[in-house]
Amino acid sequence: MSYDTILYEKLDGVATITLNRPEALNAFTAEMNRELLDALKDGSRDKAVRCFVLTGAGERAFCAGQDLKERSPDRKGSLGESLRSRYNPIILAIRRTEKIVLCAVNGVAAGAGCNLTLACDLRIASENARFIEAFVRVGLGPDCGGSYFMPRLIGLGKATELFLLGEPLNAQDALRYGLVTKVVPAAELAAETRAMAERLARGPRSAGLIKRTLNRSMYGELAAQLEYEASTQEIAGRTADYDEGVRAFMEKRTPAFKGE
């Protein structure tokens, strides 16, 4: 299996998926959405795979979310449709597979990239990691399940602050909030991740059942919430503020939102 935007490797029960567009901080293109979903389906079907590792190439970024260069105001398309067809199936695939998904957050995780980390079962972070619910900075709201996972993981108060202010949560604070299991120096992330993944891959059959019972306990309405996020993002994507937010990002300036 050969991919252009991700690396995919299976070894000793662990399937490792690396988002691989480091020059664009591993931001999502349509092709990356397709390839990530394909690899998740492959590993889920493969009896030899017991655990996934999801990470990003390079030390700067795990993933900067949707590639905003694909989204200039003149060719932005329907954001709701983009979520339904490209992103939500990935989030559901991660929650629905019985394989444990370990996220190695190697750098900044922003927007859809931040929420992708939240969909995983466990997160281990490098000291460089930052979690940014960046949507508000470009005039959008949370998607990819962020509005569902974040309040459940760290509580509504802090989650609301992250969504409304769009400020980064650094690795140590993420540890304090219980968002990540461990913070390690960047140079040790690969080895620490491998050790944890191999431990998970050697776990009993009940590991998948543990995941299922936690899904049922906490995530029963995930599909409906993903659909709701798609409908609210559709509205946000039609606003002048979103166009201004994306333009300001491209032009490397602060957006001048008008509340419209």
Tell whether residue 138 is a contact of ligand LHQ (CB under 6 A).
yes
- How many angstroms separate the Cα of 207 from the Cα of each of 12, 17, 100, 201? 17, 20, 8, 9
Segment interacting with ligand LHQ, rule: CB under 6 A, options 45-53, 77-85, 88-96, 204-212: 77-85
- How many angstroms separate the Cα of 142 from the Cα of each of 22, 65, 131, 227? 24, 11, 13, 12
Residue selected from 18, 20, 33, 82 as contacting ligand LHQ according to rule CB under 6 A: 82
Of 82, 76, 140, 87, which Cα lies nearest the Cα of 118?
A: 87
* 182-184/6-11 β-pairing: unpaired
Tell whether residue 180 is a contact of ligand LHQ (CB under 6 A).
no
As measured in angstroms, the least distance from the Cβ of 107 to ligand LHQ is 8
Spell out the residues 6+ positions from residue 89 whose beta carbon is closer than 8 angstroms to its own. Answer: 37
Segment interacting with ligand LHQ, rule: CB under 6 A, options 94-102, 134-142, 156-164, 205-213: 134-142
Spell out the residues 6+ positions from residue 118 whose beta carbon is closer than 8 angstroms to its own. Answer: 145, 146, 149, 150, 153, 179
Segment interacting with ligand LHQ, rule: CB under 6 A, options 9-17, 108-116, 147-155, 218-226: 108-116
Give CA–CA dist 237/144, Å, rounded: 15
Please give the size of the binding site for ligand LHQ, defined by CB under 6 A: 26
As measured in angstroms, the least distance from the Cβ of 164 to ligand LHQ is 15
Tell whether residue 230 is a contact of ligand LHQ (CB under 6 A).
no
- Report 36-65 residues binding ligand LHQ (CB under 6 A): 64-65
Write out the H or E segment, with its range, that includes residue 42. helix 30-45
Segment interacting with ligand LHQ, rule: CB under 6 A, options 36-44, 50-58, 109-117, 200-208: 109-117
Tell whether residue 66 is a contact of ligand LHQ (CB under 6 A).
yes
Segment interacting with ligand LHQ, rule: CB under 6 A, options 106-114, 156-164, 182-190, 218-226: 106-114
Residue selected from 8, 62, 87, 131 as contacting ligand LHQ according to rule CB under 6 A: 87
- The answer to whether 115 and 143 have CB atoms below 8 angstroms apart is yes
Give CA–CA dist 259/241, Å, rounded: 7
As measured in angstroms, the least distance from the Cβ of 233 to ligand LHQ is 6
As measured in angstroms, the least distance from the Cβ of 217 to ligand LHQ is 27
- How many angstroms separate the Cα of 225 from the Cα of each of 1, 46, 146, 215, 222? 33, 29, 10, 14, 5
Phi-psi region of 43 (alpha: psi -120 to 50; beta: other; left: phi over 0): alpha
As measured in angstroms, the least distance from the Cβ of 138 to ligand LHQ is 5
| Contacting residues toward ligand LHQ, per CB under 6 A | 24-25, 27, 64-69, 71, 79, 82-83, 87, 108, 110-112, 132, 134-135, 137-138, 140, 143, 249
